C-alpha cells in the first residue's frame, strides 16, 4: 500500500496544486474537540495534518505551541492516547497524518513499537525534532522505525553538505524552515526562503514544504508560488487557544483556515 503522503503529492502534482499542511497539538483542548478539529481541517481541504504529540519540555516550540502541549497534557493526553486519536480519525477520514514530536515520548513508548503502533493506527509519517538522522544511523535502536516516513527539517543555516545529506535521505516531504528560532516567534517568512527552496530542489525530487511565520492568505500564496506546500502551525494553534473554552472551536477554526487553504490551492 502506497504511503498517503506520497499519494497526496502525486495527486496534487497532477492537478498543478500546492499542499496545505496544518499543524495542531493532539488533544488540544481535549480529546473529543481535538478529534473534531482534525475532522474540520480535513473537511476544509487541508492536504496533510501534522499532529503534535504533547511533551512536557518542548524546547523547539514557542509559547503558543508550549501552551497547547500543556493544555493537552492537562486534559489527559499521552502517546498512547495519540494512537487512540489517530484510530478515531481514521474511522472517517483519509487525510495523511504526520506525527510531530520529540524523541523522549517515542523512546519511552519503545521506538519500534511506537512506529508500528502509529502506522497500524493510520499515521503516515513522523518528524522527530531532536533526533538528527546522522545520530539515528549509528544507533541500532533507531534503525527499526521504518513503518513511517521520516520527515526532515532543513533550516536556512544548515551547511551545504548536511543539507544534501538530509535531502537525499528525505521521505514524504522536506520541512524547510523559513527562519531560524522557535515556532511562532516570527511575523512573516524570510525573504531568502525562495532561494533556499531552489537550492534544495537542485538536489532532490522530494516535495519541499515551507513553514514558520505564515499567518495570512497573502503569505500562503507567496510561499506556494515557489514551494510544493505551505505549513501553518502556530497561527492555527493560537486560534484554538483563543477559542479553547468555546464549544464551537472547530467551526471558528474552519473560518480561519479556509482562506489560507484557498489561497494555497489557487496558486
User: How confident is the model over 72-88, as pLDDT tens digits?
Assistant: 999 999 999 999 999 99
Q: Determine contact, residues 6/151, Cβ cutoff 8 Å.
A: no
Residue 61 bears catalytic tag: yes
Higher-confidence residue of 122 and 212: namely 122
**Domains (range + CATH), the chain:** 4-266 (3.20.20.70)
Q: Which of 6, 50, 117, 124 is catalytic?
A: 50
Residue 50 bears catalytic tag: yes
pLDDT at 206 > cutoff 50: yes
pLDDT at 22: 98
pLDDT at 196: 93
Confidence category of residue 246, pLDDT binned at 50, 70, 90: very high
Confidence category of residue 183, pLDDT binned at 50, 70, 90: low
pLDDT at 175: 97
| Order of strands, sheet of 97-101, starting from the edge strand that comes earlier in the sequence | 149-150, 125-128, 97-101, 48-52, 19-25, 229-232, 208-211, 174-177, 152-154
Pairing of strands 229-232, 208-211: parallel
| Cell numbers placing 19 | 499542499
Q: Which of 61, 117, 124, 228 is catalytic?
A: 61
**Among 42, 52, 45, CA closest to 92:** 42
Per-residue model confidence as pLDDT tens digits over 48-79: 999 999 999 887 788 999 999 999 999 999 99
Pairing of strands 149-150, 19-25: unpaired
Amino acid at each position: 500500500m502506497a504511503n498517503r503522503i506520497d499519494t497526496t503529492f502525486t495527486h496534487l502534482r497532477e492537478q498543478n496544486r500546492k499542499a496545505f499542511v496544518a499543524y495542531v497539538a493532539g488533544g488540544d483542548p481535549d480529546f473529543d474537540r481535538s478529534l473534531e478539529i482534525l475532522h474540520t481541517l480535513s473537511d476544509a481541504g487541508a492536504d496533510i495534518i501534522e499532529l503534535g504529540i504533547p511533551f512536557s519540555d518542548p524546547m523547539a516550540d514557542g509559547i503558543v505551541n508550549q501552551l497547547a502541549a500543556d493544555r493537552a497534557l492537562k486534559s489527559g493526553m499521552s502517546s498512547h492516547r495519540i494512537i487512540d486519536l489517530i484510530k478515531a480519525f481514521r474511522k472517517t477520514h483519509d487525510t495523511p497524518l504526520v506525527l510531530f514530536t520529540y524523541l523522549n515520548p517515542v523512546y519511552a513508548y519503545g521506538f519500534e513499537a511506537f512506529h508500528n503502533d502509529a502506522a497500524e493506527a493510520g499515521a503516515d509519517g513522523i518528524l522527530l525534532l531532536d533526533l538528527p538522522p546522522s545520530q539515528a544511523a549509528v544507533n541500532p535502536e533507531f534503525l527499526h522505525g521504518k513503518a513511517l516516513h521520516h520527515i526532515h527539517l532543513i533550516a536556512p543555516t544548515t551547511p551545504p553538505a548536511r543539507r544534501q545529506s538530509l535531502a537525499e535521505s528525505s521521505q514524504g516531504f522536506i520541512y524547510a524552515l523559513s527562519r531560524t528560532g522557535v515556532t511562532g516567534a516570527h511575523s512573516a517568512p524570510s525573504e531568502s526562503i525562495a532561494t533556499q527552496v531552489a537550492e534544495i530542489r537542485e538536489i532532490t525530487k522530494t516535495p519541499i514544504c515551507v513553514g514558520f511565520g505564515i499567518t495570512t492568505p497573502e503569505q500562503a500564496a507567496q510561499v506556494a508560488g515557489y514551494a510544493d506546500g505551505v505549513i501553518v502551525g502556530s497561527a492555527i494553534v493560537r486560534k484554538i487557544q483563543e477559542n479553547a473554552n468555546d464549544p464551537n472551536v472547530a467551526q471558528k477554526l474552519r473560518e480561519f483556515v479556509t482562506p489560507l487553504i484557498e489561497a494555497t490551492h489557487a496558486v
